[in-house]
Amino acid sequence: MDFAGDDYCDAHQDESLDISSVEPTSYDQFFIKFEVEFLREQEDEDDDDDEELYVSRLESIIKTGIFQERCDRLPHNNLSWHNVTRMLHIMEVPVDRQPMILHQICNFADRIANEPYNRNKKILPIKVYISLPVNYFIEENESSDVTIRPANELVEQDLEKVKIEESELGSDFVCVICMEKMEAGSEATKMPCSHVYHGNCLMNWLGVNRVCPTCRFVLPS
């Protein structure tokens, strides 16, 4: 799917969003507008008498959604993972594409919640734009993922602990949940599908979603 590049996510504070309908509360909150664009390459037959030619063009479907969340429930912690995963699931972002996007949204929320110029604001408007290359469009009544639920705690405890070997490391050998490099000699946790993550990262993820963030292998719930 090189035609549309990699997954892309941009989040920024957008004061142009209409927050007039948001009811004031005793706590600070984010007003978040999601815009997810699904891009698909479509080949059309070119009318040519001599030979059969195909011309590629891009089709896109844009899905939008509005969410409100307390400001202390989006910066990085276990609760933020649950909240952002729920939003991404509603926006039909596939599970295996969520970790990088989740990481970026939580980082941004943490940053703007702590900006001095936002200190006295009760409502912080955020716009999140996500671009995803796809092979097909999901119909409105079609579910894109298995139901989101935590993994069974006993199953989590039985996951294999492994030591990262120097020979396994490459320039792109990262924990796809936190997007940080895996260090040689460090301990990691392996899923039954053989994908490896930082132990804490994986436990936090499985506490929300039982699906492997790389291949969508499903642990028992």
Name the residue ranges covered by the structural domains of the chain: 2-133, 153-206
How many residues in total does the chain contain?
221
pLDDT at 98: 86
Of 78, 74, 79, the C-alpha closest to 106 is 74
CB 129 within 8 A of CB 35: yes
Assign residue 38 a region (left: φ > 0; alpha: ψ between -120 and 50; beta: otherwise). Answer: beta
State both tokens at 217.
């292998």
CB 6 within 8 A of CB 25: no
Residue with tokens 């549309």: 4
Residue with tokens 């792109």: 172
pLDDT at 21: 87
pLDDT at 3: 44
pLDDT at 172: 60
Phi, psi of 106 (to 5 degrees): -65, -40
The domain made up of 153-206 has a fold known as Herpes Virus-1 (3.30.40)
pTM: 0.65
Phi, psi of 96 (to 5 degrees): -70, -5
Q: CA geometry: angle at 207 spanning 161 and 122, to 5°?
A: 135
* Segments in the chain below pLDDT 50: 1-4, 140-145
pLDDT at 166: 67
CB 219 within 8 A of CB 195: no
| Residue 161: strand, helix, or coil | strand
Assign residue 5 a region (left: φ > 0; alpha: ψ between -120 and 50; beta: otherwise). Answer: left
pLDDT at 130: 95
Q: CA geometry: angle at 54 spanning 49 and 59, to 5°?
A: 140
